[in-house]
């Protein structure tokens, strides 16, 4: 590391005001089962800062109305706020234009949109789609459905014991029949940060487009879709400290323009006659019906919030926290971390000898520690490690070493119950 | 450890999880059925041998959380020697015990099974405790394919 980047890191650490950040999240101040809440289920959904909650409240109190269709003052105000949020999202991921920012109900909807519009209009019998063994079900099932509809085949890149993609296998799966590569940017079950730049370059060498599932990446590291050169990028607002019910599909313009609409309805049309309907321009072509207006405006506020802290700062803070957690959790007798990739984000999936993850989850909850247990919508990952489930602690920008210490203390209590 | 936790993970449960009774396949069982809880991946198979209407032998194997394994272990203990009619009655009573807010049941008569009453306060865990029971019910109703809690 150069002296300059060390300096930068030093100042970053200094300016990260964790007290102030925690103070912004009202939900964190409560007690659960008589203990202060330690929220470590951020991979499932993140908590919302005051700044987001206030924006939702203000919308419903002051200017709730439908967008893109009223001439009245409230509607114009709502439309303005909604489109301003789209612009914030565009800048946040560095998209070229707002036309490439399609607002959906979540990552799942974004992926299904690509599968049913792009996939269904271009794939044929014998074509191939490449995914990986570590995908969330939402980046598996839409492609399986597409394969059923078109006769295309799904190819799966395997992972190694650490939970890293085996890149040689990926390369050997790429061929003349490959029509799309769909890969998770950061794995929700293992925490692996995939080498997406390499994945994209290798696919592009053969002219194959790449979709990235960024649900777990966007809240934790800077994402620049132009630098990545990905063809589609999908994420959810609720994991990014915004409200539930919002999501984003970014796409390259030429691709989006060539794609037929997916769902039909209001807003996505220009003119409707019984003998012919013409469609609206991007991005509205893909936005049928009344969207989650408050949710989108709230997601814009969430982007303002994380941008003010700085995604680089957040990534740096979380990686230090991850290193701390990894070290002390690895030292717990009988505990095994599942997912130990060299390049990892703040997700700690673990199993304990002779203790089922659900029992861990219930006992931790009694200590005020919220984690997730189960298969994390990634059953193939569980199968790969031959385990029914894991317990998973997932970090966010407001977690502290104190939270990790509470987690470890609660885990030690689990061991006592079953001793 | 908090008092509440003691209520769920009572000694009986911890013990039956660590050393489950009637664990393992019965060779030449008259019936067997797999129960699966997709939410947690618990997977138990129940084996029963009958003499007319009487359960002469009952066992299970598979894997699951402490609650589901202990429940299966306690269930097999409770049902050995019972008639199918009696077993159905125990199934119904047990169901009320773990799901009713204030069950109008004589807790005494449940014997060791009463140790599972605590799951009532943990809604996400009721399925764990009831997996083996639903499998039993499936068997008694003549179901031979497989049972899921969904
Ligand atoms: C990696 C990954 N992809 C996709 C999703 C689906 O996101 P959503 O449920 O918001 O559509 C999730 C959420 O759990 C995820 O972690």
Domains and CATH numbers, chain A: 3-48+310-417 (3.90.1150.10), 53-307 (3.40.640.10)
> Which one, of A62, A107, A73, lies nearest residue A234 by Cα?
A107
- Answer yes or no: is the ipTM higher than 0.85: yes
Check CB contact under 8 Å for B14 and A416. no
Question: Nearest by CB to A366, which of B5, B17, B128?
Answer: B5
Asked whether the whole model's pTM tops 0.80, one would answer yes
Any idea which residues of A carry the catalytic annotation? 377
Check CB contact under 8 Å for A417 and B63. no
Strands A210-213 and A178-184: parallel
Check CB contact under 8 Å for B1 and A375. no
- Chain A: residues touching B (Cβ < 8 Å): 33-34, 354-359, 362-363, 366-367, 373-375, 382, 388-389, 413, 416-418
* Residue A345 neighbours by CB distance under 10 Å: 26
Q: Is the pLDDT of residue A6 over 70?
A: no
Buried/exposed code over A228-254 (b: 16+ C-beta within 10 A; e: otherwise): bebbbbbbbbbbbbbbbbbbbbbbbee
Q: How many residues are recorded in chain A?
A: 419
Give, in order, the Cα–Cα distances in Å from A393 to each of A338, A396, B45, B115: 11, 10, 31, 30
Q: Is the pLDDT of residue A5 over 60?
A: no
Give, for A51, the enclosing helix (H) or strand (E).
helix A50-58
Question: What are A392's strand-pairing partners?
Answer: A349, A372
Find all residues with CB under 8 Å of B34, minimum gap 6, and list them.
Answer: B43, B44, B45, B46, B62, B135, B146, B147
Structure tokens at A340: 């130990």
Q: Is the pLDDT of residue A10 over 80?
A: no
Q: Can you tell me the distance from the alpha carbon of A417 to that of B18, in angstroms, rounded to the nearest whole number? A: 12
For chain B, what percentages of helix, strand and coil (3-state, to nearest 5) are there? 50, 20, 25
Check CB contact under 8 Å for A417 and B9. yes
Q: Is the CB of A184 inside a 6 Å radius of any atom of ligand 1?
A: yes
Taken in order of first residue, the domains within chain B and their CATH numbers are 3-142 (3.90.1010.10)
Nearest residue of chain A to residue B69 (CA atoms) = A356
Q: Is A191 helix (H, G, I), strand (E, B) or coil?
A: coil
Q: Is the CB of A346 inside a 6 Å radius of any atom of ligand 1?
A: no
- Read off the pLDDT of residues A324-346 as tens digits, 9 standing for 90 and up: 999 999 999 999 999 999 999 99
Share of chain A above pLDDT 70, in %: 97
- Taking residues A240-252, what's their average pLDDT? 98
Q: Can you tell me the distance from the alpha carbon of B25 to that of B62, in angstroms, rounded to the nearest whole number? A: 10
- Read off the pLDDT of residues A18-67 as tens digits, 9 standing for 90 and up: 999 999 999 999 999 999 999 999 999 999 999 999 999 999 999 999 99
- Read off the pLDDT of residues B56-109 as tens digits, 9 standing for 90 and up: 999 999 999 999 999 999 999 999 999 999 999 999 999 999 988 877 778 778
Check CB contact under 8 Å for A359 and B42. no
> Best interface-test mutation with B: which of A31, A358, A363 has the largest number of B CBs within 10 A?
A358
Contacts of A418 in chain B (CB under 8 A): 9, 14, 17-18, 66
> Best interface-test mutation with B: which of A44, A189, A352, A359 has the largest number of B CBs within 10 A?
A359
Find all residues with CB under 8 Å of B109, minimum gap 6, and list them.
Answer: none
DSSP secondary structure string for all residues of A135-188:
--GGGTHHHHHHHHHH--EEEEE-B-TTS-B-HHHHHHH--TTEEEEEEESB-T
Looking at residue A384, what is its pLDDT?
96
Q: Can you tell me the distance from the alpha carbon of A322 to that of A299, in angstroms, rounded to the nearest whole number? A: 26
Structure tokens at A120: 């269904």
Per-residue DSSP letter, B108: G
- Read off the pLDDT of residues B105-149 as tens digits, 9 standing for 90 and up: 787 788 899 999 989 988 889 999 999 999 999 998 887 777 776
Instruction: Please state the atom number of ligand 1 nearest to the C-alpha of residue A186.
Output: 1
Q: Is A29 helix (H, G, I), strand (E, B) or coil?
A: helix
- Taking residues A261-269, what's their average pLDDT? 90
Per-residue DSSP letter, A243: -
Q: Is the CB of A188 inside a 6 Å radius of any atom of ligand 1?
A: yes
């Amino acid at each position: 590391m150069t002296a300059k980047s060390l300096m930068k890191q030093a100042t970053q650490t200094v300016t990260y005001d964790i007290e102030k950040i925690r103070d912004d999240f009202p939900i964190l101040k409560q007690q659960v089962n008589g203990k202060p809440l330690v929220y470590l289920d951020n991979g499932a959904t993140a908590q919302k800062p005051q700044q987001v909650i206030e924006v939702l409240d203000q919308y419903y109190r002051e200017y709730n109305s439908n967008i893109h269709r009223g001439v009245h003052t409230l509607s114009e105000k709502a439309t303005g706020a909604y489109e301003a949020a789209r612009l914030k999202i565009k800048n946040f991921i560095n998209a070229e234009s707002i036309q490439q920012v399609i607002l959906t109900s979540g990552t799942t909807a974004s992926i299904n949109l690509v599968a049913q519009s792009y996939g269904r209009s271009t794939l044929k019998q014998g074509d191939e789609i490449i995914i990986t063994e570590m995908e969330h079900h939402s980046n598996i099932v839409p492609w399986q459905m597409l394969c059923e509809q078109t006769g295309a085949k799904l190819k799966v890149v395997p992972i190694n014991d650490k939970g890293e993609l085996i890149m040689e296998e990926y390369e050997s799966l790429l061929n003349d029949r490959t029509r799309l590569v769909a890969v998770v940017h950061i794995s929700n079950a293992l925490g692996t940060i995939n080498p997406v730049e390499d994945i994209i370059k290798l696919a592009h060498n053969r002219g194959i487009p790449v979709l990235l599932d960024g649900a777990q990446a966007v809240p934790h590291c800077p994402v620049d879709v132009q630098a990545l050169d990905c063809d589609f990028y999908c994420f959810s607002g609720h994991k990014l400290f915004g409200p539930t019910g919002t999501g984003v599909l970014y796409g390259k313009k030429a691709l989006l323009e060539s794609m037929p609409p997916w769902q039909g309805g209001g807003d996505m049309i220009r003119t409707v006659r019984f003998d012919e309907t013409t469609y609206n321009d991007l991005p509205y072509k893909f936005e049928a019906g009344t969207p989650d207006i408050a949710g989108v405006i709230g997601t814009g506020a969430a982007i303002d919030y994380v941008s003010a802290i700085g995604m680089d700062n957040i990534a740096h803070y979380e990686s230090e926290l991850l290193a701390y957690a990894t070290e002390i959790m690895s030292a717990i007798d009988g505990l095994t971390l599942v997912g130990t990739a060299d390049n990892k984000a703040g997700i700690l999936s673990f199993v304990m000898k002779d203790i089922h993850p659900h029992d861990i989850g219930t006992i931790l909850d009694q200590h005020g520690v919220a984690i997730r247990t189960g298969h994390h919508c990634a059953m193939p990952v569980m199968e790969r490690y031959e385990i029914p489930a894991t317990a998973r602690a997932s970090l966010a920008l407001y977690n502290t070493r104190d939270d990790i210490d509470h987690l470890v203390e609660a885990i030690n209590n689990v061991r006592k119950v079953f001793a | 450890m908090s008092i509440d936790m003691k209520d769920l993970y009572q000694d009986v449960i911890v013990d039956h999880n660590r050393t489950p009774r009637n664990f393992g396949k019965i060779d030449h069982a008259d019936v067997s059925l797999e129960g699966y809880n997709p939410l947690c991946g618990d997977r138990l198979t129940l084996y029963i041998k009958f003499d007319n209407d009487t359960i002469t032998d009952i066992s299970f194997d598979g894997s699951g959380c402490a609650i589901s394994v202990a429940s299966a272990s306690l269930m097999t203990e409770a049902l050995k020697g019972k008639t199918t009619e009696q077993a159905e009655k125990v199934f119904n009573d047990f169901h009320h015990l773990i799901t009713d807010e204030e069950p109008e049941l004589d807790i005494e008569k449940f014997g060791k099974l009463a140790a599972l009453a605590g799951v009532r306060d943990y809604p996400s865990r009721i399925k764990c405790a009831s997996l083996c029971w639903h499998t039993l019910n499936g068997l008694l109703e003549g179901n031979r394919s497989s049972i899921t809690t969904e």
